[in-house]
Chains A and B, each alone.
Chain A
Amino acid sequence: MGGVLACLLAISALGQEPPQIVRAQLLMATEGAHPGSRVRAAVIAQIAPGYHINAHHLSLDYLIPTEARFKSSPDAKVEKIIYPAGRLKRLAFSKTPLLVYEGKLPIGLVVRVGTPKGISTISLRGELSYQACNDRACFAPSSVPLALNISLVPRKVPLRSTHAAVFSKIQFR
């Protein structure tokens, strides 16, 4: 079944309609954040079967890297972005294997939360830019918007962890 779907997606890539290749969302490692703290978050991208996007650290200099970019504000500033290394994949069009992302892609973020006055939610906005290909064709560089609302929790209230399975796979240190 997965094979049939992958096959259909790969075929549609070479037809008239470009498919939605990458979908992405932002997740927090905790339910909310304390003002003035650093919190962990992650971009979780899902790459459609049959496609890959270039890794952030490129294996060939002519490729376009995957990159997460965020708007900086006093309320929320992304201080660190942790990209996975990618998987070496041998493709028909390249003599050497390329570092690519396929399937589920978790990108770790360390976010510095500000101390805004009189608001209970801050927002983080950005985009994930990528350039996708399959084994035979490539698609124009593209991006998906990223948005996350972070609830501010008083410092005396302990934060509960969420999405532990996702965050355990990201090397934050």
Chain B
Amino acid sequence: MKAKRIVLGVVLGAVVAGGLYLANRFWIAPATAARSAKSDGAYPMAPEFKLTSLSGQTINLRDLRGKVVILDFWATWCGPCRLEIPEFEDLQRKYGSQGLQVVGVSMDDSSAPVRQFYQQFKMNYPVVMGTDKVGELYGGIYALPTSFVIGRDGRIYAKHVGAMSEGVFLREVRQLLAARPNQPLASFTPAVPGSADISVETPAEVNSPVPGVDVSKLSAAQLAEFKKKLSSEHCTCGCGYTVLQCREVDGSCPTSLKMAREAMAKLMRKNSI
């Protein structure tokens, strides 16, 4: 009887916890994120990058300011990514003249399959070969496809992880095309709740000796102390590396990133930096 009650309690607890999680993710969190983004103008600026497209054209995000940009991180081995591409081609065809530019960022290891795909499907927008650094600038690309919808003012208005149902990008692109070039948007309603929950990284974080953590304010001695500390702790993600090794080997690991940033915050407090 007692055992039954315990089991029932555990199940109920799990269901309540699951419910709270879902409510937070789909109801509370998106509303908060969207509101804060609107009220303080916190839609982050899209990190700049310069990469060469498959056709040899230099794609500099800065040059696209004034346009609405869909930045699509994808790979040829990713089925959901391939599914979205015809919609992007369609949007480029219909709205390109109004200022839309789709840019594909392939996360394939080599360009050969990307070139083949590009030619086979006659893609009508540029595709560049992505790098880990660019992925990190955009907050780490953990799943593909991950697409960013960038306004004419260069700010990221939506981030979509996973294949979106048809019409999501269209609804967002139309709103953003309505803005004047280089002017902030009066209002924006993301087509998917939670898609305004965007984090990006700075070049100082991406180019750091501890990837993801800005160490530019540390002295050489403090940096050595910081790295020693990270080398003495094991990352709890299950990789078997120390926190520092995990940052160096797998910049996309959120566990080591969190641990490293917490250690950095502690160090900065200790040294009043």
Contacts and interface: CB of A to CB of B under 8 A. Distances in A.
Interface stretch (A75-83, A131-139, A159-167): A131-139
Contacts of A7: 18, 22
B184 interface: no
Given A13-B143, A18-B254, A133 B79 contact: yes
Contacts of B117: 62
Nearest to B109: A141
B14 A62 contact: no
Nearest to B141: A140
Interface in B91-127: 107, 113, 117
A94 B79 contact: yes
A85 interface: no
Given A1-B14, A93-B79, A136 B254 contact: no
A171 interface: no
Given A8-B21, A16-B254, A93-B82, A139 B77 contact: no
B37 interface: no
Interface residues of A, number: 33
B56 interface: no
Contacts of A1: 11, 14-15
Contact of B163 (A16, A60, A137, A145): A137
B18 A140 contact: no
A1 B11 CA distance: 7
B81 A138 contact: yes
A91 interface: yes
A56 to B, nearest CB: 15
Interface residues of B, number: 35
A4 interface: yes
A62 B25 contact: no
B93 to A, nearest CB: 22
Contact of A136 (B75, B162, B199): B162
B161 interface: yes
Contact of A14 (B21, B76, B140, B162): B162
A113 to B, nearest CB: 27
B260 to A, nearest CB: 15
Given A137-B161, A138-B79, A8 B18 contact: yes
A15 interface: yes
Nearest to A10: B162
A18 B252 contact: yes
Interface in B214-241: 237-238, 240
A18 B22 CA distance: 17
A138 B254 contact: no
A126 to B, nearest CB: 15
A138 B78 contact: yes
Ranked nearest first, the 10 interchain pairs of A and B with the lowest CB-CB distance are A136-B162, A137-B162, A137-B143, A138-B78, A93-B79, A93-B83, A4-B18, A93-B80, A18-B142, A14-B161
Interface of B: 11, 14-15, 18, 21-22, 25, 75-83, 107, 113, 117, 139-140, 142-145, 161-163, 199, 237-238, 240, 252, 254-255
